[in-house]
Amino acid sequence: MIDRRDSNWWKQAVFYQVYPRSFKDSNADGIGDLKGIQEKLDYFQELGVDALWISPFFKSPMKDFGYDISDYKDVDPIFGSLEDFQSLLTAAHERGLRIVVDLVVNHSSDEHPWFKAARSSRTDPRHDWYLWKPRTGRRPPNNWISLFEQRSAWYPNEATGEWYLATFTRNQPEFNWRNPELREAIYDATRFWLDLGADGFRMDVATAYFKDAEFRSNPFSFNLVPNLLQHHIYDRNRPEIFGVFKDFRAIADSYGDRMLIGETHGLDPVLAASCHGNNCDGLHMAFNFDFLYRKWSARLFRESAERWYELLPSSAWPNFTLSNHDQPRHYYRYRSGRHADARARVAATMLLCLRGTPFLYYGEEIGMNCEPLPKASLRDPLGVATWPLRIGRDPERTPMQWDDSLNAGFSPASPWLPVNADYRHKNVATQKTDPDSLWNWYADLLRLRKSQPALITGTLTWLDVPPEVMAWKRTERRQSEGKQDLLVYLNFSGKLKTISVPVGTVLQGTRVAAGERINAGERTLGPYEVLVVSQG
Ligand code: GLC
Ligand code: CA
């Protein structure tokens, strides 16, 4: 059972992101659903994760696969019903598993009744809930761009003779967060899910809600992907957002134990760091996406983590992630011929042993791949609009590979996206029975975190090691148990590396079995070797 008095659970938890369309189909229509997730509740416990973030399952015309919501208080029939959500939540909570849902309130769907009313007339009470500019000629009001359509973000609305703003697809008109009634309507929807018992929200493009009051054009930038040659200083990332974060925080805090994690659009973690507020009055966490853009390098990952720790206000708690539904999976990014699995173990150990809350993406525990898909299989509007550039997001959203049966055990029907061709040997069932599999590596690490408080709350000190090795020490001081030091060594290279170690016991390793004693002194790390040692 979850403990509602525990307001800090999210600092100890390992999160697992479920992309509901692709996790498990319970009714043979080729699309994953809430009942499918509920069928797999044992799975999360076997693996050892503590909380789920489920991508949107709300009512939606699915133009952006749920990130375009037409009713903030209902479940889309494709995914089930509100009762299904309640039943999933109750069953999850009974097992001590928390569930965070996606809050997509930078924009609604163009089929939301609010937008339908708003676009009908300039005098409609909802008109001011969205962003408009008078349409005098053919030229849009400024240079803001629609990310997923690769064109102007302003779309004509005949009934009012205006443009409306949509910086994702045209079907995602953006809210006017300066309107107090709109804000109240959103806060009301927020409370709806918290009242049902949801443990918090992942807030979609949380730093985009406010646009420049004067609608100024963005300045030029040399960055093509993902910035599309603009510095996005006027169409998002405005300072007014911090007041709204405080409102959300107050709502969450009024329930005692709920958590908010924001998605920020901006490559520099400075922006994410700023969302926490200085006195725990902003978001509980904001995603640090820096690892998603780092090359395979011990030095670059260490620099990235160090910088993140430095940037965060002292009251803030860090988080790390390597993959999500918008970026190529890290198994694929870092694959290097036959070393793909070895690298995946290094990456998993880094993610789960650094100081901060880890977010896993479904399928990373079996090393799911992410090969480009043929044009005919593409569903993501970004992928369709940018073909053949291959920056679409379908490859990272393919069905979960459960076993070697038809469609990888995801669904008896033909799935909405093709199953990866490697599913016959790469799947949960096969890997669970193999003690040396990546799945078992993750499960072991997750068990290790639970048994070693140093891995969760311990301080972190970097260790001096040769290039291409990343190493750190986690230290926990407990009155009853004294001091506990835990050392993590990761060889990012295929070469032998010499490190010096203290006397200790191996807790987890790729070449040395857990429980083995090691002596103080110099030691050789093999290619991609991982070694986690308890000192003493
Ligand atoms: C976020 C989501 C992405 C979605 C976009 C628009 O970036 O993660 O999947 O398409 O917002 O809502
Ligand atoms: Ca289904």
| Cβ of 326 less than 6 Å from ligand 1 | yes
Q: Which atom of ligand 1 is nearest to the CA of 104?
A: 12
> What is each CA distance from 183 to 71, 100, 106, 186, 411, in whole angstroms?
16, 21, 11, 5, 40
Report the pLDDT value the prediction gives residue 431, as an integer from 0 to 100.
98
Measured CA angle at 264 (ends 258, 268), to 5 deg? 130
Lowest mean pLDDT among 40-49, 269-278, 425-434: 269-278
Cα–ligand 1 centroid distance for 55 (angstroms): 10
On the CB side of 138, CA atoms within 13 Å amount to 0
pTM beyond cutoff 0.85:
yes
Instruction: Tell me which of 148, 204, 287, 289 to substitute to probe ligand 1's pocket, judged by most ligand atoms within 8 Å of the beta carbon.
Output: 204
Q: Phi and psi for 184 in degrees, rounded to 5?
A: -65, -40
Nearest atom in ligand 1 to 324's CA:
8
Distance of alpha carbon 170 from alpha carbon 166, whole angstroms: 5
CB 168, CB 64: distance < 8 Å: yes
Do residues 249 and 277 lie in contact, with contact meaning Cβ atoms separated by under 8 Å?
yes
From 51, 18, 30, 38, select the one nearest 83 (Cα to Cα): 38
The pair of three-digit structure tokens given for residue 372, joined into one six-digit string: 């480009």
- CA 401 to chain centroid: 20
Active site residue 3: no
Residue 451 to residue 534: CA distance in whole angstroms: 12
Closest ligand to 173 CA? 1
114 close to 185: Cβ distance less than 8 angstroms: yes
Which of the listed residues 57, 107, 168, 359 should we mutate to test ligand 1's pocket, taking the one with most ligand atoms within 8 A of CB? 168
Residue 168 Cβ inside 6 Å of ligand 1? The answer reads yes
Percent of the chain with pLDDT over 70: 100
Centre of ligand 1 from the C-alpha of residue 523, in Å:
46
pLDDT at 17 over 90: yes
Atom of ligand 1 nearest to the CA of 382: 10
Q: Which residues surround ligand 2, an ion (CB under 5 A)?
A: 25, 27, 29, 31, 33
Q: Is the pLDDT of residue 397 over 90?
A: yes
pLDDT value of residue 167: 97
Query: 80: closest CA among 47, 36, 111, 119?
Result: 36
Distance 67 CA to ligand 1 centre (A): 6
Q: What are the pLDDT digits (tens) for 222-277? A: 887 777 789 999 999 999 999 999 999 999 999 999 999 999 977 789 999 999 98
Q: How far is the centre of ligand 1, averaged over its atoms, from the C-alpha of 380 (Å)?
A: 11
SS3 per-residue string spanning 280-346 = CCCCCEECCCHHHHCCCCHHHHHHHHHHHHHHCCCCCCCEEECCCCCCCCHHHHCCCHHHHHHHHHH
176-199, pLDDT tens digit by residue?
999 999 999 999 999 999 999 999
Nearest in space to 88 (alpha carbons), one of 59, 45, 52: 52
Does residue 67 line the site of ligand 1, with CB under 6 A?
Answer: yes
CB 392, CB 412: distance < 8 Å: no
Return the pLDDT at 228. 79
- Residue 320's contacts (CB-CB under 8 Å, 6 or more residues apart) are 288, 291, 305, 308, 351, 354, 356, 357, 358, 359
- From the CA of 411, which ligand is nearest? 2
Q: Give distance in angstroms: CA of 26 to centre of ligand 2.
A: 5
pLDDT of 337 reads 87
Ranges of H-type helices in 71-179: 82-94, 113-120
The DSSP code sequence of 151-193 is: EESEEEEGGGTEEEE-SS-TT-PBB-TT-HHHHHHHHHHHHHH
- Chain segment 195-213, per-residue pLDDT in tens: 999 999 999 999 999 999 9
Catalytic residue (one of 50, 149, 263, 444): 263
Q: How many residues does the chain have?
A: 536
pLDDT at 224: 78
What pLDDT band is residue 482 in, cutting at 50, 70 and 90?
confident
Percent of the chain with pLDDT over 90: 93
Per-chain mean pLDDT for the chain: 96
Instruction: Give the C-alpha separation, 416 to 410, whole Å.
Output: 11
For residue range 132-188, list pLDDT tens digits in order: 999 999 999 999 999 999 899 999 999 999 999 999 999 999 999 999 999 999 999
- In this structure, what token pair is assigned to residue 143? 């240079």
> Which of 25, 204, 444, 476 is labelled catalytic?
204
**Residue pLDDT, tens place only, 494-529:** 999 999 999 999 999 999 999 999 999 999 999 999
Instruction: Give per-residue pLDDT as tens, 61-109.
Output: 999 999 999 999 999 999 999 999 999 999 999 999 999 999 999 999 9
- Please name the helix (run of DSSP H) or strand (run of DSSP E) that holds residue 352, with its range, or none: helix 340-353
| DSSP for residue 400 | P
Give the pLDDT confidence score for residue 57 in this predicted structure: 99
CB 392 within 8 A of CB 375: no
Which domains are seen in the chain, by residue range? Answer: 9-108+178-370 (3.20.20.80), 113-165 (3.90.400.10), 452-535 (2.60.40.1180)
Phi, psi of 401 (to 5 degrees): -100, 95
Nearest Cα residue to atom 4 of ligand 1: 67
Which ligand 1 atom sits nearest the alpha carbon of residue 68?
12
pLDDT reported for residue 207? 96
Please give the number of the atom of ligand 1 that sits closest to the Cα of 67. Answer: 12
- pLDDT of amino acid 129: 99
pLDDT at 456: 97
Confirm or reject: Cβ of 208 under 6 Å from ligand 1. Answer: no
Give me the pLDDT at residue 481, please.
Answer: 72
Known catalytic membership, residue 204? yes
Query: Are 106 and 208 in contact, with CB atoms under 8 Å apart?
Result: yes
What is the pLDDT at residue 226? 73
First and final C-alpha spacing in the chain: 36
* Cα 379 to ligand 1 centroid, rounded to whole Å: 14
